[in-house]
């Protein structure tokens, strides 16, 4: 598997080379069209013109050896910067001129049979040739047949030659310039590609190293985000750091969970073990065994509650079965919760101010789970209310939502503690001293249930009043807005 650096470099190299190939092809096409091709067409026209002039001169009774005709041919050669060869039908040169009146050095020479055959067979000739060495160097040659005017009788042939070394030199110069420029651009492309690839792959390498350190348990590692990075890499780095923060918090909660569960299990187990050993070894006298066994029984029930709560939490977090939301009467659910907690409310001499609608308040959710939420919130309010205090429970509706609020008087929860109130096993020192029965999972379970319902639960605490409020979605067809009943306990 090739690295990102190699892939990017090869891609850049291919694009640069492809661009230069296209540029070279375009240049050669343009130069051919506007130089060589134009020259070829001009020579072909000159050859045909000389052929017609020769035919006309012969037809009018003149001769190609006349001074006027030779002057005309010499002038045409000089004007077109080319050489002109006039030959008979057998290919023997009878007149040659390179623009000088006295030049007729090739007279009597024989043209190559291939050139003669092609001209007589196709009616034209064109190509790079030395004409069998007659020209001394390779030149561009065009040929045209000489016909007797008014007939198709071949009476001779004309070849026009020109030097194209200037074009060859032009292309050679371009090839050299093209090569130098190509090398310079390739070097620059290589350097820029190398620097860019290293700059872009550096954060990826840092991410890979950070991931490996994560795998070894180092959850504090982070990748620095460079504002100069491309947006995609910066977003990837920020997403990785956000994920790292989340994992670190999860790890911290896991360790805290283990520490809390260890503490919660250790306390009752120590009491059970101590009292049991005291009874067995006789340290506890027989008259105190009943009280000791009562304590052991209470701690055993506390362990059972803790295990039961842990099973509830595990089921809420790991259940893959989708929750089936159905319409139910929220007001009726809260009435049943109040009825189940009436002994605790009476035992603590609390005043209960409940404002619940008389008509059904139909919401969507899981009735048993919401019952658990209501029970946990009211039970929490009972535990932290002073003797003779007041607990408020009400249900309100706003914008398609039903809001359940549970408020109790007592001590104000500090602003530092409020964000932790829904954490597993969270207990204040005061709650540990006041409530030996709690295990610190009630509010966490309530939060988890409401979150599974895709709803919100909030807590506020100020001036001795603590309020928990959660929401549920109302059934659209329900339009109940009945009177409220007030009950006091």
Task: Measure the N-to-C terminal CA separation of the chain; round to a whole number of Å.
Answer: 76
Q: For 336-361, what is each residue's pLDDT tens digit?
A: 888 888 888 988 899 999 899 988 89
Is 216 domain-assigned?
Answer: no
Strand order in the sheet with 154-162: 93-97, 83-87, 154-162, 139-147, 125-129
Is 335 domain-assigned?
Answer: yes
- The yes-or-no verdict on residue 99 having pLDDT over 90 is no
Kindly indicate the confidence band of residue 425, based on its pLDDT and cuts at 50, 70 and 90: low
Number of structural domains in the chain? 3
Q: Are residues 17 and 89 in the same domain?
A: yes
Q: Are residues 84 and 8 in the same domain?
A: yes
In 3-state terms, the chain is what percent helix, strand and coil (to 5)? 55, 20, 25
| Angle between helix 231-280 and helix 165-215 axes, rounded to 10 deg | 10
Is 269 domain-assigned?
Answer: yes
Q: Are residues 9 and 146 in the same domain?
A: yes
Q: For 239-274, what is each residue's pLDDT tens digit?
A: 888 888 888 777 777 777 677 667 667 767 877 888
What CATH number did the domain enclosing 419 receive? 3.30.565.10
Q: Provide φ and ψ at 469, rounded to 5°.
A: -135, 130
pLDDT over 70 percentage in the chain = 81
What CATH number did the domain enclosing 46 receive? 3.30.450.20
Domain span at 411:
326-487
pTM of the predicted protein model: 0.45
What CATH number did the domain enclosing 267 receive? 1.10.287.130
Q: Are residues 299 and 359 in the same domain?
A: no
pLDDT at 393: 93
Mean pLDDT over all residues of the chain?
79
Kindly indicate the confidence band of residue 55, based on its pLDDT and cuts at 50, 70 and 90: confident
Select from 257, 285, 318 the last residue of a domain. 318
Is 136 domain-assigned?
Answer: yes
Distance from C-alpha of 86 to C-alpha of 60, rounded to nearest angstrom: 18
Q: Are residues 336 and 359 in the same domain?
A: yes
pLDDT over 90 percentage in the chain = 10
């Amino acid at each position: 598997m090739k690295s990102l650096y190699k892939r990017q470099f090869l891609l850049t190299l291919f694009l640069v080379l492809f661009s230069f190939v296209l540029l070279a092809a375009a240049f050669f096409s343009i130069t051919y069209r506007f130089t060589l091709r134009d020259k070829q067409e001009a020579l072909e026209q000159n050859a045909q013109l000389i052929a017609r002039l020769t035919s006309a001169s012969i037809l009018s009774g003149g001769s190609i050896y006349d001074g006027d005709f030779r002057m005309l041919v010499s002038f045409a050669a000089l004007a077109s910067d080319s050489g002109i060869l006039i030959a008979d039908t057998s290919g023997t040169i009878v007149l040659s001129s390179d623009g000088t009146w006295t030049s007729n050095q090739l007279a009597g020479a024989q043209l190559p049979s291939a050139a003669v055959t092609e001209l007589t067979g196709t009616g034209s000739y064109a190509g790079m040739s030395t004409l069998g060495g007659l020209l001394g160097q390779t030149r561009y040659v065009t040929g045209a047949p000489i016909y007797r005017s008014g007939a198709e009788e071949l009476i001779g042939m004309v070849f026009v030659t020109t030097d194209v070394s200037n074009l060859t030199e032009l292309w050679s110069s371009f090839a050299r310039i093209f090569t130098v420029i190509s090398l310079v651009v390739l070097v620059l492309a290589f350097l820029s590609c190398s620097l860019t690839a290293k700059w872009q792959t550096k954060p990826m390498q840092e991410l890979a190293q950070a991931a490996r350190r994560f795998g070894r348990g180092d959850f504090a590692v982070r990748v620095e985000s460079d504002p100069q990075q491309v947006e995609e890499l910066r977003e990837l780095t920020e997403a990785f750091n956000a994920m790292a923060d989340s994992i670190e918090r999860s790890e911290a909660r896991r360790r805290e969970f283990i520490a809390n569960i260890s503490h919660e299990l250790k306390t009752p187990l120590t009491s059970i073990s101590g009292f049991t050993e005291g009874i067995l070894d006789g340290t506890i006298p027989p008259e105190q065994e009943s009280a000791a066994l009562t304590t052991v029984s209470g701690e055993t029930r506390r362990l059972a509650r803790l295990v039961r709560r842990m099973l509830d939490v595990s089921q809420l977090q790991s259940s893959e079965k989708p929750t089936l939301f159905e319409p139910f009467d929220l007001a009726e659910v809260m009435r049943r919760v109040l009825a189940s907690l009436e002994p605790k409310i009476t035992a603590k001499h609390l005043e209960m101010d409940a404002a619940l609608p008389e008509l059904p308040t139909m919401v969507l959710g899981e009735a048993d789970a919401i019952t658990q939420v209501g029970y946990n919130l009211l039970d929490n309010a009972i535990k932290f209310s002073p003797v003779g205090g007041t607990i408020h429970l009400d249900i309100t509706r706003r914008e398609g939502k039903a809001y359940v609020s549970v408020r109790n008087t007592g001590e104000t929860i500090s602003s530092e503690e409020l964000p932790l109130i829904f954490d597993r096993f969270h207990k204040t020192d005061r709650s540990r001293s006041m409530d030996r029965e709690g295990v610190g999972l009630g509010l966490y379970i309530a939060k988890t249930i409401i979150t599974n319902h895709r709803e919100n639960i909030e807590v506020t605490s100020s001036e001795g009043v603590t309020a928990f409020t959660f929401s549920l979605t109302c059934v659209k067809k329900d339009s109940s807005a009945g009177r409220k009943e007030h009950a006091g306990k």
